[in-house]
Amino acid sequence: MAGQLQSKLPSRESRSKLPGESRNQCSSPSLITLTTDFGLADSYVGVMKGVMASIAAEHGYGPLRFVDVTHGIAPQDVAAGRFHLGQAVPYFPVGTVHLAVVDPGVGGERRAIAIDCERGVLVGPDNSLFSAVLERFPARAAVELNRSQFWWGAEPSRTFQGRDIFATVAAHLAGGVPLEALGDAIKLESLVHLGLVEAVPVTGGWRGSAQCVDHFGNVVTTVKAGAVEGLGWVVEVAGFRVSAVGSYGEGELGELIALVGSHGWVEVAVNGGSAAERLQVSVGDEVVVSYS
């Protein structure tokens, strides 16, 4: 095993110059975001950043900058990863590299990919994790990450491709290596895609579901902000009828309120408390929005 790990260490000898590798040396450090289900209790996230810093140091890319989107996605919850990436990516500068790993199929048949879109490059597994981003910023090109000279050692671990493939590729991209150098082009229509579940129109309103419960216990629904206007609407959920207000501050302390969240969806909240606890609502539960 010592030998195995040894071969993973960066080695000047074993790596030849890669295309474009000193391109970014004099400009601003490149930005890489990270979104995973790895949590923060282990060293997995730190190791990925270490690998990226090592790649940058070895290839003269100049310093990289890392921003964590979240590592608190529930283990293997691709839908939650899709949602949070869809929320976050639009706020980052054009040209950012977005590295994301929520990956039930690691080591199996699913492809490792990188996708170019208007906001930057997305790097991760081909399992619909980027679908919400791509609905808004359509893919312009994509490659399968099948060229081992851009990996961490020639034989990536079958259990931690985040470290051995996705992190190294993200570092090379941030360093200026062009997408097409990293692997064979793949057809855009072959990318695994799952649309966000959205509410459907029903008589007098919309029927949807709870799609996310956030840290505050706010229940984010699948009803889009554009579906409501003004304040005359109510949300029916778990036997409660909750009336719309304009902002959290308008609810009495402890009152259930419905509002348009900052993410662009209708949500239910409690001023000073957790709506999910109060309502006993979980992701997937039905929600109806209507004008009262």
112-117 and 96-101: which strand pairing? unpaired
By C-beta, is 69 or 238 nearer to its own copies? 69
20-49 residues near its own copies, rule: CB under 8 A: 28-29, 31, 33, 35, 38-47, 49
261-290 residues near its own copies, rule: CB under 8 A: 261-262, 264-265, 271-272
By C-beta, is 154 or 185 nearer to its own copies? 154
Tell me if 259 contacts its own copies by CB under 8 A.
yes
Among 188, 248, 255, 278, binds its own copies (CB under 8 A): 248
Tell me if 15 contacts its own copies by CB under 8 A.
no
Please give the Cα distance from 238 to 223 (Å, whole number). Answer: 16
CB of 181 to its own copies, least distance (A): 23
Contacts of 54 (CB under 8 A, 6+ apart): 10
64-103 residues near its own copies, rule: CB under 8 A: 65-72, 75-76, 84-85, 87-94, 96
Please give the Cα distance from 130 to 127 (Å, whole number). Answer: 8
221-240 residues near its own copies, rule: CB under 8 A: 224-227
136-155 residues near its own copies, rule: CB under 8 A: 136
Q: Which whole-number Å values give the CA distances from 239 to 25, 212, 288, in the listed order? A: 59, 19, 11
Instruction: Please give the DSSP secondary-structure letter assigned to residue 28.
Output: P
The three-point CA angle 163-168-173 to 5° equals 145
